[in-house]
Amino acid sequence: MARGVVPLSDTKIRQAKPREKPYKLFDGGGLYLYVSPKGAKSWRMKYRHPVTKKDQTITFGLYPGISLKRAREMREEVRSALIDGLDPKCPAGEEVRFRDLATEWLDLQKIGNKHRRFQRGRLDNHINPRIGDLPIDKITRRDVARVLTEVYAAGKEETAGRLHSIITSVLRYAVARGLIEHNVAADIDRATLIPPPEKKHLRTITNPKEIGHFVQAVKEYPGYWVTSRALLLQLYTATRPGEARGMRWDEIDGDLWHIPAHRMKMKRPHTVPLSVPARQIIEEMRGFCGDSEFVFPSPFSKTRPISNNTVNVAIKRIGYGDKLVAHGLRSMFSTIAHEQSGFPHEVIEAQLAHATGSEVSRAYNRAEYLDERRKLVEWWAGWLEGLA
């Protein structure tokens, strides 16, 4: 019993009057009486989930239907279940629903809030309406297949694939918890049941003459000047649109640009060598908006960078909307570099921050290829300038 908590008595409980707001009368050990503004008195207990370690509340019932003595007995039953590693809401022998276990599984995932919201939405919108109320040990391969095929038939091919991953993970967790013996979702051949959608290639241009016209059009862009500079910087560095748009002054170190892991797609830090034209763009921006933390600030606020929509709108305004998207600049670099630069594939891939090889070899390659990548970006800048 918690120190300083005076155990309740029937007299004190009977004398408890409703107030404007609900309040609690504590008995110790997590047990308390919840008194509502209408006068209803219910027994509740706060405890820590044995797996997720998150605080939970269980309701025993209304007083006096559940007496003080019985409420204390139920408290001890909960404690006993917790000692055995069981969730009191789903004690041994009782059926555990898919939706409840899925929530428990999601709580354990070490993911960002945005990803968690997406996963929660997929559960609530697609999975739980179909199998959420089924006992975890009664779910069959046919049940899982029905979820996937119905979503796939609705034209949501990519979503169906993600749902299969979620269901498989939840059932794998159920196996680990000892709730089921076999993961039926793992038996499903995803590629056969729900073939992946045809891969869409990003629009790009690779004809040298057309690339030259594009570069000149960007330099002469009549809109927000910062946007054209961000586009050129992305072109010279072959970085992703978000990486270029979000460039910060504290990431620049001479002729190197150190992008932190949290801004990279693969969540690994990436060092980008800067060619002479790229450094000239950065110096131009320093004189224009060096008081912002961003090299390419939004026209509406210096506290945030320009948006991805701003960049793609600029591409459309200069007449290349049907031929190119911002991300396609990387494809342009990759194609030309592989065909004309003479640099090894590994060096080009390292510049693109593509994941190749083992973790150890990737760390080695980042250091080993830096000098070669310096030469590569200078070659690329010279190739682009030669088109003018």
Which of 52, 83, 114 terminates a domain? The answer is: 83
Task: Please spell the DSSP secondary structure of 21-63, one letter per residue.
Answer: S-EEEEEETTEEEEE-TT--EEEEEEEE-TTT--EEEEEEEET
Which of 162, 193, 224 terminates a domain? The answer is: 193
Is residue 5 in a domain? no
> Which residues, 6+ apart, have CB-to-CB distance to 29 below 8 Å?
1, 2, 45, 75, 79
- Rounded CA-CA distance 39/18 in Å is 5
Q: Distance between the two ends of the chain, CA-based, in angstroms?
A: 81
pLDDT computed for residue 199 by the predictor: 58
| pLDDT tens digits, 114-129 | 888 999 999 999 999 9
Which of 136, 162, 193 terminates a domain? The answer is: 193
Q: Is there a catalytic annotation at residue 330?
A: yes
Q: What ranges make up the beta strands (E) of the chain?
A: 23-28, 31-35, 41-48, 55-62, 252-253, 256-259, 270-273
- Rounded CA-CA distance 239/295 in Å is 15
Pick the catalytic residue: 265, 302, 316, 345? 265
Can you tell me which residue has the tokens 């701003």? 310
The CATH number given to whatever domain includes residue 135 is 1.10.150.130
Coil vs helix vs strand at 193: helix
pLDDT computed for residue 96 by the predictor: 85
pLDDT computed for residue 358 by the predictor: 45
Q: Is there a catalytic annotation at residue 265?
A: yes
The CATH number given to whatever domain includes residue 231 is 1.10.443.10
The answer to whether residues 236 and 372 belong to one domain is yes
pLDDT computed for residue 267 by the predictor: 83
Q: Is there a catalytic annotation at residue 173?
A: no
The answer to whether residues 61 and 145 belong to one domain is no
Pick the catalytic residue: 72, 203, 327, 375? 327
Is residue 4 in a domain? no
Q: Model pTM? A: 0.53
pLDDT computed for residue 214 by the predictor: 94
User: CA 303, 306, 310: angle at the middle one, nearest 5?
Assistant: 150
| pLDDT tens digits, 36-63 | 998 889 999 999 888 778 888 888 888 9
Pick the catalytic residue: 97, 330, 369, 373? 330
The answer to whether residues 316 and 357 belong to one domain is yes
Q: Is there a catalytic annotation at residue 182?
A: no
Strand 55-62 and strand 256-259: the pairing is unpaired
Is residue 88 in a domain? no
Angle between helix 225-237 and helix 370-385 axes, rounded to 10 deg: 130
Q: Which two tokens stand for residue 50?
A: 């044995």
Is residue 216 in a domain? yes
Number of domains in the chain: 3
The answer to whether residues 176 and 248 belong to one domain is no
Phi, psi of 128 (to 5 degrees): -60, -40
Pick the catalytic residue: 354, 366, 374, 375? 354
As a whole number of Å, the CA-based R_g of the chain is 30
pLDDT computed for residue 361 by the predictor: 43
The answer to whether residues 350 and 236 belong to one domain is yes
Q: Is there a catalytic annotation at residue 270?
A: no
Is residue 200 in a domain? no
Question: Tens of pLDDT along the chain (388 residues)?
Answer: 445 678 999 999 999 999 999 999 999 999 999 999 988 899 999 998 887 788 888 888 889 888 999 999 999 988 988 887 777 766 555 678 899 899 889 988 888 888 889 999 999 999 999 999 999 999 999 999 999 999 999 888 889 999 999 999 999 988 887 788 999 999 999 888 888 766 556 688 999 999 999 999 999 999 999 999 999 999 999 999 899 999 999 999 999 999 998 898 888 899 999 999 999 999 999 988 878 999 999 988 889 999 888 888 999 999 998 888 888 899 999 999 999 999 999 999 999 988 655 454 444 445 558 999 999 999 999 999 998 6
Q: Is there a catalytic annotation at residue 164?
A: no
Is residue 3 in a domain? no
The answer to whether residues 220 and 361 belong to one domain is yes
The answer to whether residues 177 and 225 belong to one domain is no
The answer to whether residues 268 and 162 belong to one domain is no
> What totals of helices (H) and strands (E) does the chain contain, helices first?
17, 7
The CATH number given to whatever domain includes residue 26 is 3.30.160.390
Is residue 26 in a domain? yes
Which structural domain range is residue 60 located in? 10-83
Coil vs helix vs strand at 349: helix
Pick the catalytic residue: 75, 240, 245, 270? 240
Is residue 202 in a domain? no
